[in-house]
Chains A and B, each alone.
Chain A
Amino acid sequence: MDTKWIEKIVDRYGRDKTRLMDILIEIQQEKGYIPSDTLPVIARMTGISQAWVEQTVSFYHFFRREPSGRYAVFLNNSVVANMMGRDKVARTFEEETGCQFGEVSEDGLIGLFDTSCIGMSDQEPAALINGKVFTRLTPFRVREIVRNMRAGKPVEELSTSGYGGGSNALPLIRAEVRNNIQRKGPLLEENYETGTVLREKLRLLTPEEVIWEVKLSELRGRGGAGFPTGLKWEFCRRAKGEKKYIFCNADEGEPGTFKDRVLLTEYPGLVFEGMALAAYAAGASEGILYIRYEYKYLERYLNHVLEEMRKNNLLGKNIAGIEGFDFDIRLQYGAGAYVCGEESALLESAEGKRGEPRFKPPFPVEKGYLGRPTIINNVETLCAAVKILYFGSEWYRTMGTENSKGTKVLSISGDCRYPGIYELEWGYTVNDILDMAGADDVQAVQVGGPSGTLISPEEFSRIICYKDLATGGSFIIFNNRRDILRDVVHNFMEFFIEESCGSCVPCRNMPWLLKQKLEKILSGHGVWKDLEDLEKWPEIMKINRCGLGQTAANPVITSLRNFRALYEEKIQKGRCFDEGFDLEKAVEESCEVVGRIPLI
């Protein structure tokens, strides 16, 4: 076998086992899958065992072990995709190609696969075909696309729908993705020129003063967990270590969020400047944007923006003329794993391993990437930090509520007239937001994605803020025609089953068991005891290691709490089924006869 091409790739990454993700992504892109005979070569060259290479390969959804077709179609199967007509689109794909989802057509031309939310909930149904995004799919367009595949057209020419607005139309992106920015606030307002803070402000401020300003603003992490950003930067600054890292977490995988997609498309300079700002504050020299594979279509553009910033002395050596301020950024792509949005799993992945969350302590600010102090911030957090340094923490604190300062970018999708991203001050009620998005006849809203809360109209006066309804930004609306249990809860449980890393026993098993129960109830065979179990069983989820595991039963927990009637109407009532075995009762009579006292 010719192994030269593999060796070339591995050599390009310095035979470094911590760059395994990049090596595998290149092989995947070159061949369309990871051929088995590449594994021993990679293992030998990077000095790890073949089993260890396969451990990483088999963890990620987009690393395929078999040929996946010259055109590999990954059709999103998220709840919003289904609501927007995915079923018809999927059936058309199957009819036109003659193969089922999970298969490759006989001639090896087209492969059809499911995939979790790809960050296009405002324009579903959507699919990735060889890494290119196709949105707003209809059966008509599917027929057209498959026809073009059969004609052997390059993936760029499969569609005739034109390019989306803004940067999406740039030659380096050329995506049909639309931004759908519905409401701008101070973060999205174009009143700022990239690099101004680095050029004009940092010269006058010590790192401690930068941290102080961010602390004063009361900015908290926008990824969902809400940790105070200034404090995180301070911890990292204080941590001992010669080399420190700044990570930007752009692995937004929570179904229903897509705000980071828009931020990276329209404001990449702001994101990178935020990373440089954090680097200045913490004394870090290297930055990594960890970005999900689904956003591979932005790669060339983002690299171009980085190159421009280097040219303008906003990255590189002595940034903005500040002696000793050296910092540069590279992209690190994932390969399809929701759990890698968890910061320590993200680090594992960036080090070339399976994305299994680490246990804490130690926290990444002390021991992060390659064991060194590391800050991991959400895309939106970093953008906000730049604006805070520019306009001042006072200004920032004038927005929001008592406990939640500033603004939040929401990703709104589902049953509404104006899906898209909305930048809002913290403090709006759910009702306000539904009004804004043009949503009528609303049955339920999923706030914070599947790991968040499903709320009913009774709670629509609740407030979006850290103290009440905290959210990383996903806001999915369901109208009264939706079957909450079948369409929503069941879909979410399948998502968590698919995306668990499998390390913790409860997270590996409980979602599966809950899904079985739910299916029993949906099929009409449920009894009261099943509802009791659904209430009690998930309690154990709180002992899982990471945020995914701890919240993976939330769809069941919150729907049962807020939509109990939907469950009750489906179960068998007034009938007595065998609900288990009572040992004591069973031996009662025989004990009496022989005069034995049972031990239990």
Chain B
Amino acid sequence: MNNEYITITIDDQEIKARPGEFIVAAARRNGIYIPTLCNMPGVHPAGSCRICTVYVNGRPMTSCTTPVAEGMEIETRSPDLEDFRRSVVELLFVEGNHFCPACEKSGNCELQALGYRLEMMAPRYPYQFPERDIDASWPKLIKDHNRCVLCKRCIRTILDEEGHHIFAFRYRGHNLQITIDPEYGKNLTDELAEKAAKNCPVGSLLYRGKHGFETPIGQRKYDKEPIGSDVEKLKKAKVS
């Protein structure tokens, strides 16, 4: 059954999707970019940033968590959806303390890249300037809560061989934050620490084993082309 396809419609365009795959993945394979932040291809979705929200048969659903179904009609680009997306990015910018010029992730940061891609000017919301800590007590990692967007990527992807979670949430609501397990954090391997930093979409988790500015700002991934370009190239390749 795996090589059978079903048909869905995304923005008036019929595309073939694999049964069981999530909308965002089906769209990507067909060169349609739906902005995402908490999502990581191949990792169980969290559905928490809400940026990838689309209308599925008229209802708002996160495309990273909703599996395709035959005949689904999906709308990804209405003005209100675009505004919700920008609004989410703005909310994240005012919620934390994101000083891009001083951040070693600048140019590789997905939040920053989304800000550009979604044409965010100044956030419409007032900056909250919360007092947040930098936790530099770990041998392999630095954790900067100022920049955290609570996407759960570290929670979902950094586990030891026995399946123990090294990262977790603490508290709830407005006070939500990421914590590192005292035992596993101390003994974190270079491999996992590097992976955690790599998976972090922002500069909240930094790996101590590398120099952060080896690639100068200006020559980094999203300095060269907007986020989502890799997906959209697929489409151009198909057309030409």
- CA of A32 to CA of B210, assembled, Å: 46
B166 touching A506, Cβ below 8 Å: no
- CA of A54 to CA of B169, assembled, Å: 8
Out of A51, A509, A583, which one reaches B167, CB within 8 Å? A51
What residues of A have a CB within 8 angstroms of the CB of B176 in the complex?
502-503, 508
- CA of A499 to CA of B87, assembled, Å: 22
Given contact pairs A499-B173, A508-B174, A542-B60, A51 touches B95 in the complex (Cβ within 8 A)? no
- CA of A48 to CA of B184, assembled, Å: 11
Out of A50, A55, A545, which one reaches B47, CB within 8 Å? A545
- Closest approach, in angstroms, between the C-beta of B45 and any C-beta of chain A? 8
A509 touching B166, Cβ below 8 Å: no
A543 touching B60, Cβ below 8 Å: yes
What residues of A have a CB within 8 angstroms of the CB of B173 in the complex?
497-502, 508
B170 sits at the interface (CB 8 A) = yes
Out of B53, B122, B174, B182, which one reaches A509, CB within 8 Å? B174
B15 sits at the interface (CB 8 A) = no
Contacts of B156-175 to chain A: CB distance below 8 A: 162, 164-175
Given contact pairs A359-B62, A361-B67, A510-B91, A49 touches B183 in the complex (Cβ within 8 A)? yes
Q: Give the A-B contact count at a CB cut-off of 8 A.
A: 129
Given contact pairs A51-B167, A58-B170, A58-B171, A502 touches B184 in the complex (Cβ within 8 A)? no
What residues of B have a CB within 8 angstroms of the CB of A500 in the complex?
172-174
B165 touching A49, Cβ below 8 Å: yes
Contacts of A298-355 to chain B: CB distance below 8 A: 337, 354
- CA of A512 to CA of B127, assembled, Å: 12
What residues of A have a CB within 8 angstroms of the CB of B47 in the complex?
359, 545
B165 touching A504, Cβ below 8 Å: no
What residues of A have a CB within 8 angstroms of the CB of B51 in the complex?
505
- CA of A537 to CA of B166, assembled, Å: 36
What residues of A have a CB within 8 angstroms of the CB of B60 in the complex?
542-543
A506 touching B172, Cβ below 8 Å: no
When C-beta atoms are compared, the residue in chain A nearest to B171 turns out to be A58
Contacts A54-B179, A499-B173, A539-B80 known; list 11 others, CB within 8 Å: A48-B164, A51-B167, A51-B184, A354-B172, A359-B66, A361-B67, A502-B174, A505-B88, A505-B150, A509-B94, A545-B62
Question: When A and B form their complex, which 4 residue pairs have the shortest distance between CB atoms, in order from nearest?
Answer: A502-B176, A51-B181, A51-B168, A500-B173
| Chain A interface (Cβ < 8 Å from any Cβ of B) | 40, 47-52, 54-55, 58-59, 337, 354, 359, 361, 497-506, 508-510, 512-513, 516, 533, 537, 539-540, 542-545, 581, 583
Give 23 pairs: A residue, B residue, CB < 8 Å, sorted on A. A48-B164, A51-B168, A51-B180, A51-B184, A52-B164, A58-B169, A58-B171, A354-B169, A354-B172, A500-B174, A502-B171, A502-B172, A502-B176, A503-B46, A505-B50, A505-B51, A537-B125, A540-B84, A542-B60, A543-B53, A543-B60, A543-B62, A543-B84
